[in-house]
Amino acid sequence: MKVQKPFLLCGILKYIYYDNRTEHRPAGTQEVWMQNQEHRRKRDKHGLRIGMLNQIAALLAVALGLFILWTAYGAVKSHNRMLAATEEYIECRTDASDMQAGSDYLTDRVRAFVVTGDIQHIRDFFTETEETRRRDHALEHMGQDLEGKEAYRFLSEALDLSNQLIKREHYSMRLGAEARGIGEEELPGALQMVELSAEDRAKSAEEQMALAQEMVFDGEYYEAKQQITENVDRCVDALMEETRRKQIESSQELDRLLRRQAVLTAAMIILIALLVAFNIRDVMIPLRRFVEDIKAQKELPMEGAYELQFLAEAYNTVLLENRRNHELLSYEATHDPLTGLYNRGAFENERMQFTEGSDETLLLIDVDEFKSVNDTWGHDIGDRVLTRVATLLVKEFRTEDMPCRIGGDEFAVFMYHAGRDLKPVVERKIKNIREKLSVPEGNVPAVTLSVGVAFGDRINGTGDIYKDADTALYQVKNNGRNGIAFIE
């Protein structure tokens, strides 16, 4: 059960406002205030109040905070420089990786095309060079921080070499397309503009394909790729060297500031430890007990500092009120307001927990021609009929059974520990109820009941006890109502 936090907060504010303002205290609280004052005087002999402890803590925190602020500021600046150098390295290292990955991806696409002839590889190649553009973006991004630096120069050279290699790759793909009979209209515009030499055009398809593959697998192509990789590696080495230099400078400065700050922090720890000693007795120990009691839904003991006792009193008031409200809401959520029986929600919950083959029995009960009762006698009399039926169900069935009202004129009863062997008992109970209902009571007219029964250990069922009981009920209705039927 959750305590209403706004209520407790209001109590705290009320205490703060009225604690030392006798002239503004609401009527009826003077006597209580005097009692509280007496308790406070007793406590003041051996302990400090939370308010005083907080004031001391605040003053010490401000003094020590101001004293170490100047060292902390310097440490933060040094740390930020180190962090910035690391982040710059990570970003630039990513740019170098993107350059290498983009170049390798283009190589992979052109080789895949000249080997398989799948034009999708050409499309992927040009998506990379014209849309994704990882290589170009990598150089542009690095240039924002390192333009003119050695690492940027190496990465720029890698891009130039990669772009030069693209011309060779274009020619290889154009030659491969020619060899496989792929029309120009299917090729990207850049490939359409590639002119094959007369000598290459005159070659057979097999020769053209062999040449196309050789152009991207031979030693010259491999050497060009190696030059790109070497420039990327040089770029990474330059990045590492620059980053290492910046980190060493920042680390040395940070080390000096941290040593100075350690001394000040030790002083703060000593002072705070003294305050903690005061807090443990009147705050921490009572709070630990409060937490345990709150988890266990118990009332809080009136102990500890004055403020804690005030909160305990407020919490206990809310706890008791919530318990009463919870009990009321729980009853209303599971019971029918007219008859006092369990409602449809409670019935469905029990139905979901039912296990086929168990020794439970379900009865579905309808008041016959109930609409005519309402039409003839009025809804007030109709309600009294339902109440009478509910009263008889409670009296006739055992206390462990569960009578429910599940609809307007629909009732149900879960009988526990009742299998097929208790069929005569069920028949007798329903007979007793029907006999009593057949006789008017005051201005409440006589009514009849239709009852369908399904046993949990039935043999001829469908596997759904509710469906079987409903089937039995409709057998009674189809036979003229005012009766009982069983699914065994």
Token digits of residue 32? 């209580």
b/e per residue 443-459 (b: at least 16 CB within 10 A): ebbebebbbbbbbbbbe
Contacts of 316 (CB under 8 A, 6+ apart): 299, 300
Chain centroid to Cα 131, Å, comes to 38
CB-based contact 458:429 (threshold 8 Å):
no
Q: What percent of the chain is helix, strand and coil (3-state, nearest 5)?
A: 75, 5, 20
Tokens of 268: 């703060």
> 50-116 vs 219-279: helix axis angle to the nearest 10?
170
The CATH number assigned to the domain with range 344-487 reads 3.30.70.270
* Collapsed DSSP state (helix, strand, coil) of residue 106: helix
Tell whether the torsion through CA atoms of 441, 443, 447 and 453 is positive or negative.
Answer: negative
What is the residue extent of each domain of the chain? 1-39+305-334, 69-254, 344-487
Distance CA 113, CA 295 (A): 69
pLDDT by residue for the chain (488 residues), tens only, comes to 344 444 444 444 444 444 444 444 444 444 444 555 555 554 444 446 777 777 777 888 788 788 788 887 877 777 787 777 788 778 888 888 988 898 899 999 999 988 998 999 999 999 998 898 988 988 898 888 788 888 889 889 989 999 999 998 999 999 999 888 888 888 898 888 889 899 988 889 899 899 989 999 999 989 988 999 998 898 888 888 878 887 788 788 878 878 888 888 888 888 788 777 777 887 888 888 888 888 888 888 888 777 878 888 888 888 888 888 877 788 888 999 999 999 999 999 998 888 887 889 999 999 999 999 999 999 999 999 999 999 999 999 999 999 999 999 999 999 999 888 999 999 999 999 999 999 999 899 999 999 999 998 888 878 889 999 999 999 999 999 999 999 87
> Would you say 392 and 451 are in contact if contact means Cβ atoms under 8 Å apart?
no
CA–CA dist 220, 161 (Å, integer) = 13
